[in-house]
Structure 1
């Protein structure tokens, strides 16, 4: 690992930031109200399914990066530019596909834990446009590392940063949709702060992995 890498703490924090998205946070009470009626452990199964989706993404991205490790200089440059781009996307709110991420996937027919698992896996895909900038930035860093096991681990940690607050919301009777909608109003400040961090990370990657080696 070099200074251009991503740490488990950063991955967990990124997951927690992702949950503040206005097309994720306000929907959680409705999703879990439906889910808990199907079984008390169904929210746990949803988070597990979500973790499986993100972990698979980490494996695939790391495998891609591992295959192209001989072109690490170019891969690092591309990843740095991608991260900077997503940083500006967050700062200037350029994500135009969030409306596609408002699907809840509550039409999954399977009941119980299996249904929750399938719902969680589908949410991991459905919410990609909404949490895309942060998720894609982590995936770009994982690709540069090229370590499949570590990539899977980091994306699992990311999913825990997203999933643990989801479980708190699922099992809290005092958190309503209106409360979460009010919290989501501060998403703009969270996103802009995250955007600044991503731009700095991208610039550091370009400096430490590209310009220093030229």
Structure 2
């Protein structure tokens, strides 16, 4: 495994945060958090006690650990696949670059792939309000969200398989980026409920801009110039070199 650079760590974390802004995650997040905590649906202006907030955060953390388990396992699989196919590194780079460009175009809205515009929520009979239930729901919804957050998640898996990066570490960082907004919502559910539309509008633009950056990254992977981009980022933002 190659060591993950500071650029890779930041990119994976931001990738998780951007996935949270996808149309099938952000609008539903407060409802998920309320159900996981076994609390009433979020209402703008309503107040919660410190104990209710703390319980919501703790149970949401179990939920985050649930979907993180699935994503880290996917990262391990991508690393294993990349190691097995290392002799075709050049061909894998081309294929991975094409996939990343495709995912970026989907995020920009330039092309539409119906399978990536929806989530498939499994009908899991688990009551909210327990750590075990929250973890199981995290496992289940990881698979349900995968089609919708596929562009970013798929790009990280493609980079892992084609570069030999540590997929488990990258996907753990990605999961942290996706999970942190859930914990913030768990802490400030009612305060955020009234601002969700504005957050969603800004998030959609950020999502599209990120898609454009992914197109450039995919081209860099295909042409072998992605390393130059990483070096440029390190020269421009030296602090990235201290991460990791």
TM-score using structure 1 length: 0.86
Q: 2:232 maps to which residue?
A: none
Aligned residues: 208
Structure 1 residue 172 corresponds to structure 2 residue 195 = no
Q: Within the alignment, does 1:123 sit opposite 2:141 as a pair?
A: yes
DSSP 3-state at the match of 1:103: coil
Counterparts of 2:156 and 2:102, CA distance in 1: 13
* Matching of residue 140 in structure 1 with residue 158 in structure 2: yes
Q: Which residue of 1 aligns with 2:85?
A: 68
Q: Distance in 2 between matches of 1:93 and 1:26?
A: 22
Hey, what's the Cα distance between the residues in 1 that align with 2:70 and 2:174?
A: 11
2:205 corresponds, among 189, 207, 211, to: 189
- For structure 2, the residue ranges without an aligned partner over 5 or more in a row are 40-51, 227-244
**What corresponds to 2:14 in structure 1?**
13
Q: Return the alpha-carbon distance in structure 2 between the equivalents of residues 75 and 36 of structure 1.
A: 43
**Superposition deviation, residue 177 in structure 1:** 3.6
Give 1:89 shift.
Answer: 1.2
Distance 1:57 1:175 in 2: 34
TM-score, with length taken from structure 2: 0.76
CA distance in 2: counterparts of 1:135 and 1:73, whole angstroms: 22
Deviations 1:12-51 (A, max 9, x none): 0011111111210111111111111279222110011111
**Offset of 1:188 from its aligned partner?**
3.0
1:154 aligns with 2:170: yes
Q: Is the 8 A contact 2:97 2:222 kept in 1?
A: yes
Q: Deviations over 1:110-158 (max 9, x none)?
A: 86111111111111111111111111011100111234xx210000000
Deviates more, 1:66-75 or 1:90-99: 90-99
Flag structure 1 segments of 5+ consecutive residues without an equivalent: none
> How many angstroms does 1:100 deviate by?
3.8
Equivalent residue number for residue 69 of structure 2? 52
Q: Highest CA radius of gyration, 1 or 2?
A: 2
Higher deviation after alignment, 181-190 or 200-209: 181-190
Tell me, in whole angstroms, the C-alpha distance in 2 between the residues paired with 1:93 and 1:161: 26
Question: Taking structure 1 as reference, are residues 95 and 187 closer, same or farther at Cα in structure 2, changes over 3 Å only?
Answer: farther
Structure 1 vs Structure 2 CA RMSD: 2.7
